[in-house]
A and B are shown apart, each in its own frame.
Chain A
Amino acid sequence: MGALRFEGREVPVLGDDTVASALYRAGVRTFTRSLKYHRRRSLYCGTGECPNCLVTVDGVPGVRSCITPAREDMRVERAHGWPSTERDLLHVTDRLHRLMPVGFYYKTFIRPRFAWPVAERLIRRATGLGRLPEDGTRQTPTARHLRTTVLVVGAGTAGLAAAVEAARAGERVVVCDEAPIGSRLAPGRTLDRVRALEAEIRALAEVQVLDRHAALGLYEGSFVPLAAEDELVQVRAERVVVATGATESHPVFPGNDLPGIWLGRAAARMVARHGVPIGERIVVAASTAEGMEHLSALVAAGANVIAAVVPASLGTEVPDGVETIVDGKLTSAQGRKAIAAVFVETSGGTRRISCDALVLSLGLAPRDVLVRMAVDEPVEVVGDASLGDQEPHLHEDGTLCLCEDVSLHDLRQAWDEGYRSSEILKRYTTATMGPCQGAMCGRALACAARNLEDVPASPAGASPAGARTTARPPARPVPLETLAAAVHEVIEKRTSLHEVHVAAGARLGWSGAWMRPFGYGDWHAEYRAVRERVSLMDVGTLGKFLVAGRDAAALVDRMFPTRIRDLEPGRSRYLLALDEGGFVMDDGLLCALHDGAFYLTSTSGGAARMDARLREWADLLGLHVHVLDRTAELGAINVAGPLARKVLELLCEDPLDADAFPYPGHREVVVAGVPCRAIRTGFVGELAFELHHPRSRGPELWAALMREGRTFDILPHGLDALELLRLEKGHLYLGQDTMPDDTPVKLGLSWAVDAGKEWFVGKPALERVASLPPSRRLFGLEFDGGPDDIAELRGMPITVEGAVVGRVTSAERSITLDRAIGLGWIRTTGDGFPTELRAGTAAARVVPTPLYDPEGVRVRG
């Protein structure tokens, strides 16, 4: 015999106890406090629908104790009220109704302005439904997909019967239920029938049973996500059978939320299944066959039922020894901490019956939320879920929405304020918007609105003001982490040299989806290694593509503005990619190969887009082309610096001199035994060879280069050094220095566009804007004064006499030039582009680029 821990004491757990039944047996009567008035709330629905039994279990708040099996050593706490749920001083709000009318938080604490933040904090604390655990203690659920012919939601008699029928017809069937099959039924005929069907269905190979899986919603294409404790199952079914049954309807009358008032199922289960008495003097009000079963079950279990309020048609079924009150109407319940009396209106006048428990079975409310989510999905509704709407019991006042503490009186007041339909009544009063999501009160809200509208029913019987509010997912409460299970984790891309960088003490950081070294300790030293000696950089992140096939040249020619026809094999050229608006989308290098194919690179972040565009235009233009994305398959190391050739010559027997391998060109070479495509590049402004190699051989190639470079004081360099290296050359970074609507002219890249071509992607757009003077251009800048760290100027507005005319996009202090330099875009001021500017505290002026090695002698070296 085990026990669970409840607020510091041991509570015994017997048989198949739920958390709620164990606590109730141990004398707990107040499970929660209501949201607004802090009224005591006790067990009510017993089927996981209402908010009354929410407790914190093992640090997880909002657990429905009435459907959660009790386990040994569970740690259970109540979450509501201050200082405790049992003695809640905030209960004083129940006496202050008039100070807190419906929607009071829209109307009060508005002035003075500082009042609201203070009040909001207090209100939030007063209404809180518990605290979330600070550290995620639960394991992140997994997600999986499931395809089936038929999905049956609900494993009661109707659902199981439908599943058996479909399986017998040879269809693949998935049956789900949020609870273990039959676990919520009191002993009786229904449970026997469920057990028989369950045995039948477990024997059928076509049926997959997913119990403890709650259906969260019904989406287009008959897509139903099922949430379990440890997984999210995304089911796609050809048709869906909704067999979610019905809940007992929630009657509204003054005092209807007092502890001691039970729905029939909760009472019958507590008494007949868990053997816990619910009172000494019990009154039952029933109008359904099921309610009569509950009455019999209570009496059979020895409960003292003193009176039964039933319709005349059921009067004969009341067991002996129970006073029968025929056709009585519940008008109110009274009591302080719990129910003490109930008032029943009969033909002979109103009777007061003193009691300590009231059991209600006054109609069924179909759980039709999934059905109402269906637009044109093939959905079949069976069993109690298919029952039509029954008029709920509404009388004068009382708590309509248990979650949000909204009374009929509140609804009337909101109606008088002009909120005259169920949808806006809902939004204004927050009725139906709590944890139960209208499971208890959705129908009652619609009915209340209909009553308030008080117009004769329209011919169709429809009342727009009293329509049911839109059903939306989730149909059942679900932790956000379960929903997030379907979202894939952050993808971290690494080059094959990642471990090498880590071992070298690199400072790694995000660059798009890639992890890249920003520096290895001293980026000034890295910069000097590039400018004065030799340095390595891992550029394996670049997009790398092979374009081959009969029409490879045609595709490249028509897709890019770059001049292709005179690009001889072995030569390469700066590549600009435009979209159809003529805007610069990406840049890279294009290498012509000897077999009519092309090898091209894109920016690291643009690789996926480049792949998509190459394939898109090959398809749209009907060209015979193969596009091979080699980005992941190849690594690349840039060997840069005036001594780069000297290092490579120690490892490579192929000719690398400027005559045999001129800039801009590329060669297939073998370096340290690794086959590489070497591309001479100019991004950093020095002699540089980019070695594209098989990814797996990156570490050995890097190690060989570092080893042979040691005599030249070789250093690797990271993105920080690169930032200055390229800026001194006036090379722009796509994205950092550009905007989404930059044409080549605006970036000073007109030279990279072959205007003589008949057509290329974006050419019609460029022609269209060619007649307009460019409104904005990217310029090289030089700064005087300004902050000590000149990089702080990045993002700063550029002004002329106080008027903003542009923005600094890059700024660094040049080491070689000993000047603060940058890039930025500037708007035309009518008579051309201004050249004398300010950026924050710095004076700025436009300078021609590149500032470093303007003739490009070093690159060609």
Chain B
Amino acid sequence: MALEVPCPHCGPRPFTEFAFGGEERPVEAADAEAEFARVYLPQNAAGPRRERWFHALGCRTWFTVTRDTTTNRID
């Protein structure tokens, strides 16, 4: 309820306006094993991580933010 996501166009907005896009990751991988890891094995780190958000109920822009998964703080 309380998380605010900074949209590059619309400024900080309640997270309920956004769709979560998961961890940021490369688009392609070098080989099959790496590809499997890329799609199915997220890091799920406790701490700051880069992740994708989509302002679905706003400007419909995709962007990347760094969010600390332990505090929800977004830098």
Partners in one complex: yes
Which residue in B4, B36, B71 is a CB contact (below 8 Å) of A236?
A: B4
Chain B residue at smallest Cβ distance from A764: B35
Smallest CB separation, A26 vs chain B (Å): 43
Identity of the chain B residue whose Cβ is nearest the Cβ of A222 in the assembled complex: B2
Whether A764 touches B56, Cβ cut-off 8 Å, given contacts A221-B4, A580-B39, A619-B62, is no
CB proximity of B19 to chain A, nearest CB, Å: 6
Q: Which one, A171-179, A190-198, A256-264, A609-617, is touching chain B?
A: A609-617
A474, chain B: closest CB distance, angstroms: 12
Chain B residues near A620 (CB-CB < 8 A): 27, 62
* Complex CA distance for A614 and B32, rounded to whole angstroms: 25
By a CB distance below 8 angstroms, the chain A residues around B19 are 612
Contact with B along A558-591 (1 / 0, CB 8 A): 0000000000000000000000110000000000
Instruction: Please name all residues of chain A whose beta carbon is closer than 8 Å to the beta carbon of B29 when the two chains form the complex.
Output: 764
In whole angstroms, what is the CA distance A294 to B36 when docked? Answer: 73
Mask of A750-793 contacts with B, CB within 8 angstroms, 1/0: 00000000010000110110000000000000000000000000
Decide if A221 touches B60 in the complex (CB within 8 Å): no
- B28 CB contacts on chain A under 8 angstroms: 759, 764
B4 neighbours in A (Cβ, 8 Å): 221, 236
> For the complex, is A375 an interface residue (Cβ under 8 Å from B)?
yes
B21 within 8 Å of A (CB atoms): yes
User: Using an 8 Å CB-CB cutoff, how does the interface string of A604-626 with B read, 1 for contact, 0 for none?
Assistant: 00001001100110011100000
Once the chains bind, are B71 and A375 in contact (CB under 8 Å)? yes
Whether B72 lies near A220 (C-beta < 8 A) is yes
Asked whether any CB of chain B lies closer than 8 Å to the CB of A376, the reply is yes
Q: For the complex, what is the distance from the CA of A629 to the CA of B72, rounded to whole Å? A: 32
Expressed in whole angstroms, the minimum distance between the Cβ of A358 and any Cβ of chain B is 44
Interface residue? A219 (CB, 8 A): yes
Nearest CB of chain B from residue A543's CB, rounded to whole Å? 14
Contact indicator B54/A616 (Cβ below 8 Å): yes
State whether the Cβ of A518 lies closer than 8 Å to any Cβ in chain B: no
* CA gap between A612 and B4 in the complex, in Å: 20
**Most chain B beta-carbon contacts within 10 A, residue among A145, A221, A612:** A221
Q: Are A220 and B3 neighbours in the complex by a CB distance under 8 Å? A: yes
Q: Are A765 and B39 in contact (CB under 8 A)?
A: yes
Contacts of B45 in A (CB 8 A): none
- Chain B hits for A621, CB < 8 A: 27
Residue among B36, B62, B71 making CB contact with A768, cutoff 8 Å: B36
A221 to B2, Cβ gap below 8 A?
yes
| Interface pair A223/B1, CB less than 8 Å apart | yes
Asked whether A768 lies within 8 Å of B60 as measured between CB atoms, the reply is: no
Judge whether B39 and A581 touch: CB under 8 Å: yes
A619 to B24 Cα, complex, angstroms? 12
Residues of B close to A375: CB separation below 8 A: 71
Q: How far is the CB of B65 from chain A (nearest CB, A)?
A: 14
Q: How far is the CA of A768 from the CA of B34 in the complex (A)?
A: 12
Interface residue total, chain B, C-beta cutoff 8 A: 23
Check A608/B27 contact, CB under 8 A, given A221-B3, A221-B4, A764-B35.
no
B2 touches A616 (CB 8 A): no
A713-747 interface (Cβ within 8 A of B): none
Interface residues of A in 212-238 (CB under 8 A from B): 219-221, 223, 225, 236
Which residues from A are CB-within-8-Å of B21?
Answer: 616
Most chain A CB neighbours (cut-off 10 Å) among B2, B28, B56: B2
User: Contact at A768–B32, with CB atoms within 8 Å?
Assistant: yes
Q: A221 to B2, alpha carbons, bound, how many Å?
A: 6
The answer to whether B56 and A219 have CB atoms under 8 Å apart is: no
Q: Which of B22-54 contact A (CB under 8 A)?
A: 27-29, 32, 35-36, 39-40, 52, 54
CB-nearest residue of chain B to A759:
B28
How far does the Cβ of B36 sit from chain A's closest Cβ, in whole Å? 7
Do B27 and A220 have beta carbons less than 8 Å apart? no
B3/A615 in contact, CB under 8 A? no
Q: How far is the CB of A668 from chain B (nearest CB, A)?
A: 27
Q: How far is the CB of A771 from chain B (nearest CB, A)?
A: 10
Q: How far is the CB of A491 from chain B (nearest CB, A)?
A: 11
Contact of A376 among B1, B56, B61, B71 (CB under 8 A): B71
B47 to chain A, nearest CB (A): 15
Q: Which residues of B sit under 8 angstroms from A765, Cβ to Cβ?
A: 35, 39
When the two chains form their complex, are residues B60 and A615 in contact, meaning their CB atoms are under 8 A apart?
A: yes
Instruction: Decide yes or no: A219 and B1 within 8 Å by CB, A608-B56, A615-B60, A616-B54 being known contacts.
Output: yes
Interface centre among A223, A612, A764 (most CB of B within 10 A): A764
Give CA–CA (A765, B54) in the complex, Å: 25
Residue of B whose beta carbon sits closest to that of A617:
B27
A619–B53 Cα distance when bound, in Å, is 12
Give Cα A375–Cα B2 distance, bound, in whole angstroms. 13
For A225, the chain B residues whose CB sits under 8 A away are: 1
Residues of A within 8 A of B52 (CB): 616
Interface string of A526-558 (1 = CB under 8 A from B): 000000000000000000000000000000000
Chain B nearest CB: distance from A743 CB in Å? Answer: 14
Interchain CB contact under 8 A, B62 and A616 = yes
Q: Which residues of A contact B39 (CB under 8 A)?
A: 580-581, 765
Query: A223 and B27: CB pair below 8 A?
Result: no
Separation of A764 and B40 alpha carbons in the complex (Å): 13
Q: Cβ of B32 and Cβ of A612 under 8 Å apart?
A: no
B26 to chain A, nearest CB (A): 9
When C-beta atoms are compared, the residue in chain B nearest to A621 turns out to be B27
Given A220-B2, A621-B27, A768-B32: A611 in contact with B60 (beta carbons within 8 A): yes
Bound-complex Cα distance A175 to B35 (A) = 54
Residue-wise, chain A 130-163 has the 8 Å CB interface mask toward B (1 for contact) of 0000000000000001000000000000000000
Closest chain A residue to B36 by CB distance?
A: A768
A221 to B5: give the CA distance in the assembly, Å: 11
Q: Tell me the nearest residue of chain B to A629, going by C-beta.
A: B60
Residues of A within 8 A of B56 (CB): 608, 612
Contact residue among A220, A223, A615 (Cβ-Cβ distance under 8 Å from B54): A615
Interchain nearest-CB distance for A658 vs B (Å): 40
Whether A612 touches B72, Cβ cut-off 8 Å, given contacts A219-B1, A221-B2, A620-B27, is no
Given the complex of chains A and B, what is the CA–CA distance between A638 and B33 in angstroms?
46
Across the interface, name the chain A residue whose C-beta is closest to B54. Answer: A612
In the complex, what distance in Å separates the CA atom of A225 from the CA atom of B1?
Answer: 10
Bound Cα distance A376, B36 (Å): 38
* Most chain B C-beta atoms within 10 Å of own C-beta, residue among A220, A225, A608, A629: A220
| A391 → chain B closest CB, angstroms | 34
**Cα separation A612 to B54 with both chains bound (whole Å):** 7
Q: A236 CA to B14 CA in the complex, in Å? A: 10
CB distance from B37 to the nearest CB of A (A): 12
Query: In whole angstroms, how far apart are the Cα atoms of A226 and B25 in the complex?
Result: 39
Q: In the complex the two chains form, what is the Cα distance from A616 to B24 in whole Å?
A: 12
Report which of A219, A629, A767 forms a contact with B2, defined as CB distance below 8 A: A219
Chain B's nearest CB lies how many Å from the CB of A29?
43
How far apart are B60's CB and chain A's nearest CB, in angstroms? 6
Contacts of B35 in A (CB 8 A): 764-765, 768
A615 and B62 contact, Cβ closer than 8 Å, known pairs A220-B2, A223-B1, A764-B29: yes
Contacts A220-B72, A612-B54, A768-B32 supplied; 14 other A-B pairs, CB < 8 Å: A221-B2, A221-B4, A221-B72, A225-B1, A236-B4, A580-B39, A612-B56, A615-B60, A615-B62, A616-B54, A619-B62, A764-B29, A765-B39, A768-B36
Supply 15 A–B pairs (Cβ within 8 Å), ascending by A.
Answer: A145-B14, A219-B1, A220-B3, A221-B4, A375-B71, A376-B71, A611-B60, A612-B56, A612-B60, A615-B60, A616-B62, A629-B60, A764-B29, A765-B35, A767-B32
Q: Which 10 A-B pairs rank lowest in CB-CB distance, beginning with the nearest? A: A219-B2, A223-B2, A619-B62, A764-B35, A220-B2, A580-B39, A221-B2, A220-B72, A620-B27, A616-B62
Q: Which residues of B contact A (CB under 8 A)?
A: 1-4, 14, 19, 21, 27-29, 32, 35-36, 39-40, 52, 54, 56, 60-62, 71-72
Query: A residues engaging B (CB < 8 A)?
Result: 145, 219-221, 223, 225, 236, 375-376, 486, 580-581, 608, 611-612, 615-616, 619-621, 629, 759, 764-765, 767-768
